[in-house]
């Protein structure tokens, strides 16, 4: 299992994903790199590492993805 | 608690041209959000996409409404599920009286929830209450939907519709043109009266002025199809004082947050 963190570069928003989540696509996202608003972090082997990374970003709205429920 | 609306990395194109380029947004129950931004930044595109208008093509990302894939839902299904969308250019329905239209809309929602349609009497009673709640002229509901309505009357009808349908998520796209002080008050009074702990309202507006009457929980600034700033109500005040240029400059200079 791999985990990734999606960070919004402009706003106080971040989400943890499972690599296999369709909207994560192992850190590729679905927009084929076209997104200029976000950055992927990872992969992380452990769930806890991904959540730690997300916490370190100090975002107000930070949680697990609704699609994959990591 | 999971959000009512969760949008992630949403990309939307119209006629092959990308208009929204990675919108992230979550809206929780009990919140009023304002989406602001200069003309052409993509505010109406976001609203139209959530409404399911076919010319808006989602090329990436997702939008979930109460945990379900919103983009997979037919527009009428969205309405039945408690999503209310009020638009810049409301439909005119000659020959259909406003109350008939409202009853049909209310009954569709009830049927969907496995409830019986309103009897004429119950509907009338409920309608009177709502007319009082949003403070409109009862005569309005006897006229044809939006036909010959003034801008203010259309707004009243829209707010009344919202009061009757009691949506879980209301999305109001308020145009910059044609909103006089009277219409501003109708919309803002309506929103203030209808905001509750178990619903959410997203107000799309070009108008800082509207936010003199409504205090949103969150304000988002859309610029070139991206949300480049989010904040509390103070962000709206900053925009009122300084316009959008300082945000553009900050974004171009690569400053984040
Ligand atoms: N139906 C459409 N057909 C063609 N272009 C559109 C359509 N809707 C929006 N656009 C284009 O998308 C951009 C954003 O428009 P819009 O979403 O209406 O912005 P806003 O509501 O913030 O003023 C504009 O360049 C506009 O021309
Ligand atoms: Mg618009
Ligand atoms: Zn996910």
Mean pLDDT of B117-140: 90
Which residue out of B13, B17, B19 has the highest number of ligand 1 atoms within 8 Å of its CB and is therefore the one to mutate? B19
Is the CB of A69 inside 8 Å of chain B's CB atoms? no
In a 3-state reduction of DSSP, which class is residue B155? Answer: helix
The answer to whether B63 touches B70, Cβ cutoff 8 Å, is: yes
Contact B11 A37 (CB under 8 A): no
- Measured between alpha carbons, how far is B163 from B159 in angstroms, rounded to an integer? 6
Q: Are strands A3-8 and A38-44 parallel, antiparallel or unpaired?
A: antiparallel
The answer to whether B56 touches B48, Cβ cutoff 8 Å, is: yes
Q: Which pLDDT belongs to residue B34?
A: 94
Q: Which of residues 67-106 of B touch A (CB under 8 A)?
A: 67
Q: Is B49 in the pocket of ligand 1 (CB under 6 A)?
A: no
Residue of A nearest to B228 (CA): A10
- Measured between alpha carbons, how far is B36 from B202 in angstroms, rounded to an integer? 11
- Residue of B119 and B153 predicted with greater confidence: B119
CA distance B228 to chain A (A): 5
In a 3-state reduction of DSSP, which class is residue B236? Answer: helix
Beta strands in chain A (DSSP E): 3-8, 13-18, 38-44, 61-64
Residue of A nearest to B255 (CA): A10
Residue of A nearest to B10 (CA): A31
Does pLDDT of B177 surpass 80?
no
How does residue A62 score in pLDDT terms, banded at 50, 70 and 90? Answer: very high
Q: Which pLDDT belongs to residue B32?
A: 95
Contact A9 B227 (CB under 8 A): no
- Report the DSSP beta bridge partners of residue B8: B62
Task: Write down the pTM of the prediction.
Answer: 0.91
Contact B251 A11 (CB under 8 A): no
Residue nearest to ligand 1 atom 6, measured at CA: B14
Does pLDDT of B252 surpass 90?
no
Contact A11 B227 (CB under 8 A): yes
- What is the domain partition of chain B in residue ranges? 5-93+150-252
Does pLDDT of B129 surpass 60?
yes
Q: How far is CA B227 from the centre of its chain?
A: 17
Mean pLDDT of B161-172: 92
Beta strands in chain B (DSSP E): 5-14, 17-27, 32-36, 57-65, 68-69, 83-86, 93-97, 144-145, 169-174, 200-205, 218-223, 226-231
Convert the pLDDT of each residue in B105-116 to its tens digit. Answer: 889 888 888 999
CA torsion, points B60, B203, B174, B81, in degrees to nearest 10?
70
Q: Which pLDDT belongs to residue B90?
A: 62
Distance from the first to the final alpha carbon of chain B: 25
Q: Which pLDDT belongs to residue B179?
A: 67
Q: Which positions in chain A touch B227 (Cβ < 8 Å)?
A: 8, 10-11, 37
CA torsion, points B209, B215, B217, B222, in degrees to nearest 10?
0
> Would you identify the CATH topology of the domain B5-93+150-252?
Rossmann fold (3.40.50)
- Report the half-sphere exposure of A21 (CA within 13 A, side-chain side): 26
Best residue in B9, B66, B220, B230 for a mutation probing chain A (most A CBs within 10 Å): B9
Q: Which residue has the tokens 């983009």?
A: B71
How does residue B153 score in pLDDT terms, banded at 50, 70 and 90? Answer: confident
Residue nearest to ligand 1 atom 24, measured at CA: B40
- Supply the ipTM of this predicted assembly: 0.89
Q: Which pLDDT belongs to residue A13?
A: 94
Q: Is B45 in the pocket of ligand 1 (CB under 6 A)?
A: yes
Q: Reply yes or no: is the peptide bond before residue A43 cis, omega within 30 of 0.
A: yes
Does pLDDT of B164 surpass 60?
yes
Q: Which pLDDT belongs to residue B152?
A: 79
Residue of B nearest to A9 (CA): B256
Does pLDDT of B77 surpass 60?
yes
CA distance A65 to chain B (A): 9
Does pLDDT of B91 surpass 80?
no
Convert the pLDDT of each residue in A16-57 to its tens digit. Answer: 999 999 989 999 888 776 677 889 999 999 999 999 999 999
- Report the half-sphere exposure of B29 (CA within 13 A, side-chain side): 11
Q: Which pLDDT belongs to residue A33?
A: 63
In a 3-state reduction of DSSP, which class is residue B96? Answer: strand
Mean pLDDT of chain B: 88
Convert the pLDDT of each residue in B186-205 to its tens digit. Answer: 888 888 989 999 999 999 88
How does residue B94 score in pLDDT terms, banded at 50, 70 and 90? Answer: confident
Does pLDDT of B45 surpass 60?
yes
Residue nearest to ligand 1 atom 7, measured at CA: B14
**How wide is the angle at C-alpha B143 spanned by C-alphas B51 and B176, nearest 5°?**
45
């Amino acid at each position: 299992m791999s985990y990734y963190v999606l960070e919004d570069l402009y706003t106080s928003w971040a989400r943890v994903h499972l690599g296999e989540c369709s909207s994560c696509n192992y850190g590729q996202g679905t927009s084929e790199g076209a997104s200029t608003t976000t950055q992927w972090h990872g992969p992380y082997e452990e769930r806890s590492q991904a959540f730690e990374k997300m916490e370190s970003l100090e975002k107000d709205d930070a949680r697990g993805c609704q699609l994959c429920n990591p | 608690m999971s959000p009512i609306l969760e949008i992630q990395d949403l990309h939307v194109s119209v006629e092959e041209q990308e208009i929204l380029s990675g919108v992230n947004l979550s809206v929780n129950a009990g919140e009023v959000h304002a989406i602001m931004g200069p003309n052409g930044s993509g505010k109406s595109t976001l609203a139209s996409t959530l409404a399911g208008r076919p010319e808006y093509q989602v090329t990436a990302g997702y939008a979930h409404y109460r945990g379900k894939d919103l983009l997979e839902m037919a527009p009428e299904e969205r309405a039945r599920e408690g999503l209310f969308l009020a638009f810049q250019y409301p439909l005119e329905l000659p020959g259909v009286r406003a109350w008939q239209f409202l009853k049909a809309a209310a009954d569709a929602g009830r049927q969907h929830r496995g409830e019986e349609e309103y009897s004429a009497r119950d509907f009338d009673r409920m309608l009177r209450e709502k007319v009082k709640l949003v403070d409109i002229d009862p005569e309005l509901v006897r006229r044809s939907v939006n036909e010959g309505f003034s801008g203010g009357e259309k707004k009243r009808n829209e707010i009344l519709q919202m009061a009757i349908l009691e949506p879980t998520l209301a999305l109001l796209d308020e145009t910059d043109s044609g909103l006089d002080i009277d219409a501003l008050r109708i919309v803002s009074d309506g929103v203030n009266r209808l905001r509750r702990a178990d619903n959410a309202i997203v107000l799309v507006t070009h108008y800082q002025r509207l936010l003199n009457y409504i205090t949103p929980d969150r304000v988002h600034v859309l610029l070139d199809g991206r949300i480049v700033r989010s904040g509390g109500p103070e962000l709206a005040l900053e925009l009122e004082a300084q316009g959008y240029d300082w945000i553009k400059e900050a974004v171009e200079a690569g400053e984040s947050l």
